Amino acid sequence: MAPSAPCWRSSPGCTCPPSSCSPVRSGRRATPPSWRRSSRNSASRNSPGIWNGSGRNRLNLPIPNSRRFSLLLALLSALVVASCARAGTVATVVSSATAPPGAGVGALGALPNLRETVAHVSPAVVAVDVNVTSLDFFLRPVEQVAAGSGVIIRPDGYVVTNDHVIAGASSIHVALTDRRVFEARVVGRDSRSDLAVLKIDETDLPYLTFASKDAVDVGDWVLALGNALGLEGGPTVTFGIISALGRTVRTAAGLTLTDLMQTDAAINEGNSGGPLVNLRGDIVGINTTILAEAQGIGFAINSDTVTRFTNDLIEFGRVRRPLIGLQGRTLNPAVAEQFQLKVGSGVLVTGVADGPADSAGIKPRDVILRFGGAAVTSWDQFLGLLWARRPGEKVTLEVLRGAENLQIVVTLAERPPEGG
């Protein structure tokens, strides 16, 4: 088994214990081995064939002069034919390799110009600098500086970023690509979705619009932009594809994020809060987290979630979430066997509180198969479908109760604010 790539101690964000970290790579290219000089390619006395001017065949017998010219001519003709055949084969292979079906020059030539996309997007990407006051071992206040990213979504100065970027901030400043710096105030933040909206006092700012989540699919090319590692000189741009949709991730802080987009576009420390855009320059997600133990696996909050939640944060200062009033767990074959259920996937209702689900007739041990027409496969996915709705909406649940399939309509209530 091939050894895994080393985690170089010089790499930012290395979390390996010092004893397991590889030494710092010097960057020098390895000196290639000295190649031995090969022996002269002189004809071997034991090699078969005709020696130049020898007048003898493979058996070292004399060849009559009358046949010598004919044999030489035949040999030359064979060499010419072989050379032509070889040249034709090489040309065919090169042609096939450079233009395979579905990936020819025409297909590549139809792609948008990445320079134009980057030029359009970059001015709306901002660096978010945060001052955080904490206490040291002796309970003395210590000022620390953290850096993240954001994106302007309205020309009058509204900026979207991650909640964890500004958590605990005593002051926040937003730096534009034209080197202007503004003090920012928090309009609203939502730790559950890891989203926050900032406001700077400026107008006529460059901004980006959102693409619909339904317009994004696995394999689409995307660019991730942000203040990677706090480097000066403008946002860092990386390029990749949408690797998967509908991911559920639990962060190191214990936060569960649902319905995320997965991408292999590099997302580094400082990229949090920056946009993930399609090749037209529209926002498809907000970069939020990576898997520290893997490479090429980053996650972004999908555009539909960002749009709805930021609109709530701007209008109400908080996200208005729906309440259904039930508890459940993911139903898998093992759980189905334990509860003697005749279905192997969905959500098993484990408890019903006084609220919309109870009023609609949902009961414990019901199995929710579909939510508003969408198949339910897990509890986390069910919550993602629920949180995509608004308070007051009616949603139809397909429920299995014993051997009976039921269609139950639930009117969603509003979840009380956190801490209220």
Give catalytic residues, as residue numbers: 164, 194, 272
Q: How many residues does the chain have?
A: 420
Q: Which amino acid is at 343?
A: V
Backbone angles phi, psi at 303, to 5 degrees: -65, -35
Cα 188 to Cα 312: distance, rounded to the nearest angstrom: 9
Q: How many degrees, rounded to 5, is the angle at CA 318 between CA 316 and CA 322?
A: 100
Cα 322 to Cα 305: distance, rounded to the nearest angstrom: 14
Distance (Å) of CA 7 to CA 85, 128, 268? 50, 28, 15
Biggest distance spanned by C-alpha atoms of the chain: 113
Question: CA-CA-CA-CA torsion for 316, 321, 323, 327, nearest 10 degrees?
Answer: -150
Alpha carbon 211 to chain centroid distance?
Answer: 16
Report which secondary-structure segment, H or E, holds 286. Answer: strand 283-290
Q: Residue 69 burial by CB count (10 A; 0-12/13-18/19+): exposed, middle or buried?
A: exposed
Strand 256-263 relative to strand 236-250: parallel, antiparallel, unpaired?
A: antiparallel
Provide the b/e sequence for 252-262 (b: ≥16 CB within 10 Å). Answer: eeebebbbbbb
Cα 239 to Cα 241: distance, rounded to the nearest angstrom: 7
Supply 412's token pair.
């969603």
